[in-house]
Amino acid sequence: MRIAIIGAGNVGSALSKAAVDAGHAVTLTATSPEKAAKVAAETGARAAASNLDAVADADVVVLAVPGSAVGAVAQEIAPAVRGKVVVDATNPLNATFTDLDIEETAAVQTLQRLVNDAAVVKAFNTIFAGRLGTPTESGHRLDAFYAGDDTDAKKVVAELLTSLGFRPIDAGGLRMARALEEMAFLNIALNAGNNWPWQSGWALLGPTV
C-alpha cells in the first residue's frame, strides 16, 4: 500500500519502520521538515514537504499526532482525502493525561465529521509504539482492534494490520471506538502508574470461532 503517516513521534516513527519493513511505501510528515527528514532516513520512508503533499497519492492516511492536534490536521487535509481511507491512531488524552477529552461518544466520530468524504477507521491506538515492530508475545500474535462504519475501508485496514504481523479484530462501528479509546487509556494508566516498561499489549485468548 501507499501509506501517508502524519506525525513522526514515537508512534509515527515506529509505524513507519514497521510498514516499510512489511513492503509498503511510506510517506511521512512532522512538525518540522528536519524531523521528517531524520525519521524518513531512519525508517526508509519518504519525507513529505507538507501534510497535503503526503496524502496526495496515498491509499491510506494515518493520523499519528497528539489527540489535541487532530481537529486542526483534519480540517487541513479534508479536501485532499476525499474517497481515501483515514486511520485514526490517536488517543484523546486531556492536557494532564488523567482522562480522555471526548466531545461525542468517541473522539474518532469528531474526526469523521471533519473529513466526512473519507472513510475513517479507528486502529493502532491500542498498540504501544514499542510493540508496532514486535507483534508477538510468548508465541501469541497481539490483537489489533479496529472500528469503523465503512466495510471496504475496514478490509483495507485489516489487511494492513495483518501485513504487520498482528491479528486484526473487527470491533464494530465507530461507536465501538469509544471502547478502544478507553482500552488504550487503561493500558497507558497501568504503565504510568506501575512504572511498567510500555510493552504490554492486548490479546484475546480462548475460542473465537
Calculate ∠ Cα 200-206-209, nearest 5°: 125
Q: Count CA within 13 A, CB hemisphere, residue 157.
A: 30
- The 10s digit of each residue's pLDDT in 91-111 is 988 888 888 888 777 878 999
Q: Where are the beta strands (DSSP E) in 18-111?
A: 25-29, 46-47, 60-63, 85-88
What is the full per-residue pLDDT of the chain (209 aa) written as tens digits?
999 999 999 999 999 999 999 999 999 999 999 999 999 999 999 999 999 999 999 999 999 999 999 999 999 999 999 999 999 999 988 888 888 888 777 878 999 999 999 999 999 999 999 999 999 999 999 999 999 999 999 999 999 999 999 999 999 999 999 999 999 999 999 999 999 999 999 999 999 88
The DSSP symbol for 100 reads B
